[in-house]
Structure 1
Amino acid sequence: MFQVIVSLTVGALFAVTAQGQEPKPATAETRKANAAVLKALPFKDQQDFKDIKRGFIEALPNKGMIKNSSGETVWDLSAYEFADGKPAPDTVNPSLWRQLQLLSEAGLYQVAPGIYQVRGADLSNITFIEGDRGVIVMDPLISAETARVGLDLYRKHRGNKPVLGVIYTHSHIDHYGGVRGIVDEKDVKSGKVKVIAPEGFVEEAVSENVFAGNHMSRRASFMYGNLIPKDPKGSLGTGLGLGTSTGNVTLIAPTDVISKNGQTVDVDGLTFEFMLAPGSEAPSEMHFYIPQLKAVSAAENANHTLHNLYTLRGAKVRNARAWSSYLHDTIERWGDRAEVLFGPHHWPTWGNRNVVNHLKKQRDLYKYLNDQTLRMANHGYNMVETAEMMELPPELADYWANRGYYGSVNHDTRAVWNYYLGFFDGNPARLYPLPPAAAGKKFVEYMGGADNVLKRAKRDYDAGNYRWVAQVLDQLVSAEPNNQVARNLLADTLEQLGYQQENGPWRNFFLSGAKELREGVKKLPVPVTASPDTIRNMPIEMFFDYQAIRLNGKKAAGKNLAFNIELPDVDQRYSLVLENGVLNYGKPVDKPDATVTTNRASLNDIMLGTATMQDKITDGSAKVSGDTDALNTFLAMLDTFEFWWNLVTPNPPPKS
């Protein structure tokens, strides 16, 4: 085995390590680190295990395996059965194992009279709130298939109640993607079904999943453990939920937009009082209270985990101070009346005293991270130093719901630092670094060559200095991405770091990186965020903004082109003007190079790659007058994005 090879030459080392691709066992250092967790945290506190079972009605059908119309599995709860009733193995942080066992409890539950949830059918929960005649659905999961199974299970026990309302608490895909599994859009358009969302919902949902969507989705394949097996040496979920379904992502635009605090909407005999929470867990988010049921939801701002102030898949950094203030406002508004707190993740909290205590603990968690990060930054500590020094006080750290299963104290601290101070820490030596491949070659040269780096790294690996070994071998792999010995040792190192993590996404990133180093990039099923419904709901201005993102600046340099775009079906007319290597849109121009007349649906097809402009011209759904060569020249400048780019080794130089 790799761990016991000390004196072999590098060539012999390669001959041994290249053979096996299986995950390795936990080392002595990892076993020691995980054993220490059992002594440090209050594992005797079993209240969460009582709460997770409260109100249970029935388990998910088919052991939680959900398939699409083609018979492909889009969700499989049974994949996590390996954790049922067992102690944490050496390859797992016991705290994360505890969270996995809680999240594996799944099925239909009564939250309170008139409120039901299906949990464990996707990354998030789907909630059913009963009115006089029908039901209001909160946050219908990622996929239409999983949402439909949730609705069917609810109706099995509560009758065939019509869906009369849908609430999107915020703009993330796991809170709207399954909407077509529970309602028909024609019922929304007819006014039979209200769809309620916070201000800015469509813009934020679309921009996050499209503008930087290719990059974000690739990283999400690591974050959510899509590429690694679900077992004690693989993914244990995310801490927020078990994983992401891979079914049909849908979207129906809101009919009712919440634009101010205190705004109320009546649906089927129930009054919903709303409070906006923009810039918290999502750019567009809201809390609400139902007076008749004495029930409050803080959306995804109060959970049974420390959440992300910066998500490892990549998104806008979140405002910890605002996040905390929204929880404070929730207590001030409804804290004296609320008897149950429920959300789109995890399990509810019951009893007024417990609800207020939970909201306070979560409020103060984000406030502490915000305030103490700024305190240390004002003492002159940089982002990495601040994160290394950050430690929660016991009254926050020992509260199970504040543990770092999804967010972490370390990367949330760095998020706060970056939110206020940006990427640069003020040290000019770090202002203009070489890119990884070039820097790696110089580091390896300074360290005496690859063989010497590997010998020293192996020594530190055996000593359990995994963080340092990962930093060093990252330089070597950046310099020599085909050096399989370095890749294997870096993979072993990331694996041990993964085994020690309390944080689900950190574990998934480390273990996914190890797999990719050993096996290369593997194309496996992942959620598709830029789905047809996402594109269809994209405002035309955002559509043009995305074309500007696709524009290859080097190819566009020196070109001056102008086109008018006419969309008769929606009665809209625009120009697209290319100059200075940039694409802008505006009012139609007098002398365009060409004019394109088509409908919005055809533009969507072109956007999705299901048809080309020439296809649409040929079938008559698009007409071009003017210089068609100029139009073809422009279309040839628009990049397409490869999804499976390298995450743990350098990518090749971009094509000009």
Structure 2
Amino acid sequence: MSALNRFSGLLLAATLPLTALADLPPETIQPSINAELAEHTKVFNKEIYKVTDNVYSAVGWSIANSVMVIAPEGLIIFDTGESPEESAKVFAEFRKISDKPVKAIVYSHFHPDHINGVKGFVSEEQVKSGEVQIYAHETLLDNVVTQGALVGPILAMRSAYTFGAALNAADRKDMNGGIGPIAVGGQSTFIAPTITFKDKLDTTIAGLPVQLRWAPSEAPDEIVMYIPSSGVLLSAEVDQGPTLPNIHTLRGAKFRDPVAWVNSLDLLRDFHAQYMVPSHGRPVSGAEKVEEVLRMTRDGIAYIHDQTVRWMNKGLTPDELVEKVQLPPHLAGYTPYLREYYGTVKHSVRQIYEGYLGWFKGDPVDLNPIPPVEKATRMVALMGGHDNVLLAAGDAYLKGDYQWAAELATYVIRIDHEDKLARDIKARSFRKLGYAQMNINWRNWYLMSAMELEGTLGEEQLAEMAKRLRGTFLSPDMLKNLPVKVFLQNWVTRVDPDKANDVSLTLGFVFPDINEQWALEVRRGVVQLHPGIPEGTALKLTLDKTYLDTVISGQNSLLKGAVLGDVKVDGNLLDIKTFLGCFDFSDSPINLTVR
């Protein structure tokens, strides 16, 4: 019996026990893809685009492009892709054009798809020797290590859903990543910048005069590069490429200020470039076309921001704003640059509201809401009980009202995570919603969540997926650049109050090889990081930063080092064990949907 027949029978014969229906064969929903989204995939066919005689853009190997600039004395590589494996393939293509040595790498910003492939182009030895320089904004390194160390576990899991990391071949068929091909992942590498700047840097790289400018937008450390001699602008993700920009990313990020983004787009317009080479999508040729793309993109972002603020000031809340704020036809139809392949108006509007006003919408009913499980229990009872709710959910599903079906099923799942029929209704509703989406982020979240509900995304797979994605944000190469302060600051958010509420201890850390001293103070469930070691601190660990790197990577532990002599101990070892026991460094599988 098909699932549709299952629900039909349920609606016609309400006396049939729901528990008997839970084991019937599931409905088969054939994978499909929005036609416009499938057509968009062709934008990212693998091709080396010749912009001018000395500028070439590699589109289609990684979700982000790598750009080769041929300078008099060597090559400049602008952005390095998401993995050294794919970047090596790009470099092989570049080598068909020029055999000059690489003299410089430019990181446009700290996101993994722009920095993780660096060792596909250059080695660490080349950078250490000074043969190759790496240019970036002065905050890039801090952003890299903070992202991976502070919110790495949850960011990894949410990124897995955003990019559809566990989707099968059928669900990936004809798909793209919105701003590039589907992310391929792979090994993550990193080499720290050697030359950084704050606002601007006019310099000569490998004999070529260039202008580097800070242009906060999609990332807070975004930089662009202009080549005056050829009128070429490497626009990074200030122009995010062939899509409505992602003013907010569903995987999670700090507030992306749309006003700053618009200002940066205007900065790019002031170059009056003849050519624009974005880090996503194809190059743009001709001064008029470059100006048009930049102007329309800035107007799209500005319209979303300005109208959101306008209606916020009339008292509308996020759920009301998403229905009110819509791009006018001349902007919404500007293909491909303002089509919703990657960003959407709806999730941008919510981020703008939160960025200005925070989570509170103004109704005190939200100040201390009934906890989710208790609320679900009361709502289900109010609607006549478990069977009535699922009858209504099934009815909504049959009528194609998939959002309502999913919302109703969610109440039942909140009460009982193992309710198979409720999970089935919600999963199939998500598949119907997902396959209809033109936006890759929404599609991937619907389909990944459907897998979680169906039970095909189990705890082991979740854990493995999270571990793999975690390495994207904090690879071994990045760990080597992790300052002691960042590592110890991470302990502050890892304290377990149940174990630390009765503990008042301070542990000093001495690092002779880098001449740094720090201390962590546990004060009844709260932890404070001190620069230097407070006078009178009895507990101290002395170790080299190089050994700490092995602790950070998981190869060793502080207690193991103390026992084997790699870590010198001052004070009572049992007290140190008590101190270390106050922290929770476990990473458990995270269920984002079944909760």
TM-score normalized with structure 2 length? 0.93
1:149 aligns with 2:94: no
> Aligned equivalents of 2:481 and 2:474: distance in 1?
11
Residue aligning to 1:490: 426
Q: Which residue of 1 aligns with 2:589?
A: 644
After TM superposition, give the deviation of residue 459 of structure 1 in Å: 0.8
Q: Which residues of 2 match residues 432-443 of structure 1 at below 5 A?
A: 432-443=368-379
In the alignment, the residues of structure 1 paired with residue 500 and residue 246 of structure 2 have an alpha-carbon distance, to the nearest angstrom, of 38
Give the superposition deviation at 1:360.
0.3
CA contact (8 A) 2:507 2:520 kept: yes
Question: Residue 294 of structure 2: SS of its match in structure 1?
Answer: helix
1:139 aligns with 2:79: yes
Q: Cα deviations across residues 33-63 of structure 1 (Å, max 9, x unaligned)? A: xxxxxxxxxxxxxxxxxxxxxxxxxxxxxxx
User: Could you say which residue in structure 1 is the equivalent of 2:204?
Assistant: 266
8 Å Cα contact 2:559-2:577 kept in structure 1:
no
Deviation at 1:184, TM superposition (A): 1.5
Q: How does 1:9-408 map to 2 (within 5 A)?
A: 9=16, 10-16=18-24, 19-20=25-26, 24-25=29-30, 91-103=32-44, 105-155=45-95, 157-231=96-170, 236-261=175-200, 263-278=201-216, 280-302=217-239, 303-332=241-270, 334-335=271-272, 338-400=273-335, 401-408=337-344
* Distance in 1 of aligned mates of 2:325 and 2:436: 19
**Cα distance per residue 1:195-235 (max 9 Å; x no partner):** 10012111112212221110011011111011111335778
| Matched-pair contact (CA < 8 Å) for 2:177–2:183 | no
**Separation (CA, whole Å) in 1 of partners of 2:194 and 2:73:** 20
Aligned residue among 7, 10, 14 for 2:9: 7
1:128 partner letter:
M
Match of residue 13 from structure 2:
none
Alpha-carbon shift at residue 397 of structure 1 (Å): 0.6
Q: Distance in 2 between matches of 1:450 and 1:266?
A: 70
Q: Distance in 1 between matches of 2:490 and 2:171?
A: 41
Residue by residue over 1:149-178, the C-alpha shift from the partner in whole angstroms, topping out at 9 and shown as x without a partner, is 2112211x1243221101010111111111
SS of the aligned residue for 1:492 comes to helix
1:462 to 2:363 alignment:
no
* Secondary structure class of the residue paired with 2:67: strand
Contact 1:300 1:343 in 2 (8 A): yes
Determine the C-alpha separation between the residues in 2 that align with 1:477 and 1:126: 45
Give the unaligned 5+ runs of structure 1.
Answer: 27-90, 651-656
Contact 1:228 1:234 in 2 (8 A): no
Does 1:617 find its partner at 2:562? Answer: yes
Deviations 1:320-350 (A, max 9, x none): 1110111012112x02xx1111121111111
Instruction: Give yes or no for contact 1:138–1:167 (8 Å, CA) kept in 2.
Output: yes
Moved more, 614-623 or 556-565: 614-623
Deviation of 1:126 after TM superposition, in Å, equals 1.4
User: CA 1:473 to 1:488, structure 2 compared with 1: closer, same or farther past 3 Å?
Assistant: same
Q: Is the 8 A contact 1:567 1:599 kept in 2?
A: yes
1:504 and 2:504 equivalent? no
**Residues in 1 aligned to 2:20 and 2:78: alpha-carbon distance in whole angstroms:** 59
d(CA) in 1 for partners of 2:566, 2:37: 54
Q: Which amino acid aligns with 1:293?
A: S
Alignment map for 1:469-488 (pairs within 5 Å): 469-488=405-424
Relative to structure 1, the CA distance from residue 232 to residue 617 in structure 2 (aligned partners, 3 Å threshold; closer, same or farther) is closer
Distance 1:23 1:193 in 2: 55
**Residue 366 of structure 2 is aligned to residue 430 of structure 1:** yes
How much does 1:385 deviate?
A: 0.9
Aligned to 2:506: 562
Alpha-carbon separation, structure 2, partners of 1:599 and 1:140: 32
On the 8 A contact 1:142/1:177 being kept in 2, the answer is yes
Q: Taking every aligned residue pair, what percent have the same amino acid on both sides?
A: 30
Counterparts of 2:393 and 2:205, CA distance in 1: 63
State the alpha-carbon separation in 1 of the partners of residues 565 and 204 from structure 2: 46
Q: Deviations over 1:415-470 (max 9, x none)?
A: 11111111111011122223332322222122222211111111111111112222
Offset at residue 649 of structure 1 (A):
1.0
Q: Could you tell me whether the CA contact under 8 Å between 2:162 and 2:444 is conserved in 1?
A: yes
Distance 1:251 1:468 in 2: 45
Task: Kindly indicate whether the alpha-carbon contact (under 8 Å) linking 1:169 and 1:197 is maintained by their aligned counterparts in 2.
Answer: yes
Q: Which residue of 2 aligns with 1:605?
A: 550
Over the aligned positions, Cα root-mean-square deviation in angstroms equals 1.8
Q: Which moved more, 1:393-402 or 1:181-190?
A: 181-190
Q: Within the alignment, does 1:414 sit opposite 2:359 as a pair? A: no
Paired residues of 1:235 and 1:507 also in contact (CA < 8 A):
no
The Cα shift of 1:130 comes to 1.0
AA aligned opposite 1:552: D
CA distance in 1, matches of 2:452, 2:85: 30
Query: Which SS does the other structure have where 2:169 is aligned?
Result: coil
Q: 1:366 to 1:474 in 2, by over 3 A?
A: same
Query: Structure 1 stretch 122-131 or stretch 633-642: which is displaced more?
Result: 633-642
Find the aligned partners of 2:298 and 2:214 in 1 and give their Cα distance: 16
Aligned residue for 2:513, secondary structure, equals helix
Q: For the residues of structure 2 that align with 1:437 and 1:573, how far apart are their CA atoms?
A: 47
- Which whole-Å CA distance do the structure 2 matches of 1:588 and 1:139 have between them? 41
Q: Is the 8 A contact 1:127 1:139 kept in 2?
A: yes
> Would the alpha carbon gap of residues 245 and 319 (structure 1) be closer, same or farther in structure 2, given more than 3 Å must change?
same
Shift of 1:619: 4.2
CA–CA distance in 1 between the matches of 2:501 and 2:21? Answer: 50
Whole-angstrom distance in 2 between the partners of 1:611 and 1:578: 23
Following TM superposition, by how much is the alpha carbon of 1:489 offset from its aligned partner in structure 2, in angstroms? 0.6
Relative distance call for 1:397 and 1:591 in structure 2 (3 A) is same
Counterpart of 2:527 in structure 1 is: 583
Could you tell me how far apart the structure 2 residues matched to 1:416 and 1:248 are? 35
Q: CA deviation at 1:11?
A: 2.6
Q: Are the equivalent residues in 1 in contact too, given 2:390–2:408 (CA < 8 A)?
A: no
**CA shift digits 1:574-632 (9 cap, x unpaired):** 22222142222221122223211111122122122221113323443321121211221
SS, match of residue 467 in structure 1: helix
1:595 aligned residue: 540
- Equivalent residues of 2:245, 2:343 under 8 A apart: yes
Taking a change above 3 Å as real, the CA distance of residues 232 and 608 of structure 1, as seen in their structure-2 partners, is: closer
Q: Distance in 1 between matches of 2:456 and 2:416?
A: 14
Question: Structure 1 length as normaliser, TM-score?
Answer: 0.85
